[in-house]
Structure 1
Amino acid sequence: MQNRQPEFSKGKEISMGSLVPPVLSDYMNYRQFLADFYLFKRKASKGSLRAYTYAVFSAAANIKSPNYLKMIIEGKRNLSDDMIGKFGKALGFMKDQTEEFRLLVQFTQAMDPAERNMYLKKLSEHRVAGKLKSGEIDRKTWEKVPNWVAWIIYAMIDQDGVSFDTATLKNLLRGKASEDEIDNALSTLISSGDLRRDEVTGELKKARSLTESPEEIPVALVRKLQSQLMYLGLESLYQDQPTEREFGTLTLSLTKSEFEEIKFKLRQMRKALHKDNSIARMKDKGERVYQLNIQLFPVTNAVETAVKAPAMKSALDIQVETPIVETTPVEAPVMMAEAPAVPQAAAPAAPVSAKEQKNERSNVSSLAATAASAADLFR
């Protein structure tokens, strides 16, 4: 049975007046890339003596079947490892591009969530390495931006009773980071000027905000940091007791204006929480460091043939900059009370007995194991 990968996102549109070839790094689905590549070649060869066809591609790839590319694009066939190399040749790829194409194929065709995460991580790292090599991403900027370990340690400055030696930090971080990662994170925070030691007491203190110059942080690094923090949340779902965390989900059908309004409100809420917590930490320190992740994303595509009446824009329907994850210690998980609304498809929350809470760790399903293995990929 062949894997027909659903198309959640498309690559860049190729306009009729443009003959710019599609760029592989713009795509998260190799079938869409191949479709756009074929369309580009068809347009480029229009009016020539020999028009570009599926058979021409097969000949360049040394494949006997003249319609093999068409079957791949339509999801009727999957690409084998050997065929990936042949396709790379027909696409005119160099070695690095062929490897990127291989990872994109593996990511697109993978069905298991943990396997998809593994290939996504490899694909992202490969693309970042290419951008660092080409100078598209400044290496100095990349290296000085803290990873998730440094992000949490920075927040621990506001946690009461913390001793910033490696062994203590490893224990407080619940073994999620190695000693080398902790040492490197501390060194980076101090050398970059984010933390400083008091000359008299030797105590570590915050010297500046980690997001002092967010415009200098590469988008690829923002995505990497956010994904790491999201996987920490996935681990918490299975490792922490319900009394120590707050998880909830809500599935909604929204218009574009409603989506923009909710997004605006979520950003305002995040900023307000950060401000209130910063003021509170000026008075006294917190007890633990908590991570608050906010996500709102599409799970379906819009129906292109749907015709809607024009809607008035909300006063809150404005564009704001892409946020940088803000990690601050709070004294307790944030609880949000929802106002009565029209019933929507929401994940049910069943009551948890004391016995169930006690045995929660031992009753982790195979899904928990998959989630944990996926989370390990981002450490």
Structure 2
Amino acid sequence: MKSIVEYKDYRAYMADFYEERKRTSAFTWREFAKIAGFTSPSYLKLVCDGKSSLSRTKMNRVAVAMGLVGYEIEYFEAMVNFVNAQKDNVKKVYFDKMMAISAANQVRVIDKDAFGYYDSWKNQVVRELAPMMPGAMPGDMAKVCCQEISALEVRKSLAFLEKAGFLKQVGENVYEQTDKAVAGSKEGLTLAIRMMHREMGRLGIESIDQFGPENRNVTGVTLGVNREGYDEIVKELDACRKKVISIAAKCGKLDQVCRLNLQFFPLTQRVERESEE
């Protein structure tokens, strides 16, 4: 069975624990519940099936029943709180705690790199900018950024990007992008991307006052649709995004880093219409 720090969903860990015990012994959900001190023989199965959740008062009993000790219990409890949290800012607190526990016990988890990449606009901009400015010092790169960033922050970003494999240094202050994709668990990466979209959305709003219309393109339309129309528009937006990436890939000498935000979202709830006679 994998180390607990390779998990981001406590239900998946519990299910794997159960399957491993069942494979090597006559283990049942009833026995699992009994060891954890629960009267309902099906409670833990309902939790693993996503039909119930572990509470703060119950998660320690389950951790002990699975034989977890030391930092494993701490990690399991942080994982329960991470999955159960409803707000992203709360999720991030527990996600950071999970990463800290992994680091303290010298266990490398790819989510840390993936989350770090999306955690700020700075890493994404520096990754695109560094290959455009061979030989440039961090201070030089900081000066061409439209958003505030210091030379020290650029230096830290370069070090992170190189260590995580997003950039490769091929000469003194000369960098190339690697082909490495950002990969991580579904839970951790989804949270990181949601937070990234919020930050990029904020930068998009600020661009309205920061740049003139000749240097930015901000348009929008409000319209009524049904479910079929919505799905068709989403496909068109996805095709547009892929076309934009294709155009950028064909560019010759690059000289600027830009951001494209595609946003299509509801302004109302769905209106229930009476069927026509």
Fold conserved (TM > 0.5)? yes
- 1:110 offset after TM fit, Å? 1.0
| Deviation digits for residues 317-367 of structure 1 (CA, Å, limit 9, x no counterpart) | xxxxxxxxxxxxxxxxxxxxxxxxxxxxx6379xxxxxxxxxxxxxxxxxx
Q: Residue type matched to 2:265 in 1? A: A
Matched, 1:98 2:78: no
The 5-angstrom pairing of residues 185-204 of structure 1 reads: 185=157, 193=169, 196=172
Tell me the equivalent position of 2:177. 210
Tell me the equivalent position of 2:18. 38
Matched, 1:109 2:84: yes
Contact 1:189 1:195 in 2 (8 A): no
Contact 2:14 2:48 in 1 (8 A): yes
| Deviation digits for residues 219-251 of structure 1 (CA, Å, limit 9, x no counterpart) | 349x59x84754532322443329545588995
In 2 relative to 1, CA 87–171 (structure 1 residues): closer, same or farther, beyond 3 Å?
farther
- 1:275 offset after TM fit, Å? 2.3
The 5-angstrom pairing of residues 295-310 of structure 1 reads: none
In 2 relative to 1, CA 231–74 (structure 1 residues): closer, same or farther, beyond 3 Å?
same
Task: Name the CA distance, whole Å, in 2 between partners of 1:253 and 1:36.
Answer: 39
Matched, 1:270 2:245: yes
Task: Name the CA distance, whole Å, in 2 between partners of 1:233 and 1:252.
Answer: 24
- 1:268 offset after TM fit, Å? 6.2
Task: Name the CA distance, whole Å, in 1 between partners of 2:232 and 2:16.
Answer: 30
196, 208, 223: which one aligns with 1:241: 208
Corresponding residue pairs, total:
239
SS class of match (2:177) = coil
Q: Which has the higher contact order (CA 8 A, sep 6+)?
A: 1
Larger helix share, 1 or 2:
2
Task: Name the CA distance, whole Å, in 1 between partners of 2:161 and 2:109.
Answer: 24
158, 165, 186: which one aligns with 2:139: 165
Task: Name the CA distance, whole Å, in 2 between partners of 1:71 and 1:58.
Answer: 11
SS class of match (1:193) = strand
Contact 2:170 2:176 in 1 (8 A): yes
In 2 relative to 1, CA 73–218 (structure 1 residues): closer, same or farther, beyond 3 Å?
closer
Matched, 1:129 2:103: yes
Tell me the equivalent position of 1:219. 183
- 1:101 offset after TM fit, Å? 1.9
SS class of match (2:176) = coil
- 1:293 offset after TM fit, Å? 6.4
Tell me the equivalent position of 1:174. 147
CA RMSD of aligned residues (A): 5.2
- 1:97 offset after TM fit, Å? 2.9
248, 259, 262: which one aligns with 1:291: 259
Tell me the equivalent position of 1:65. 39
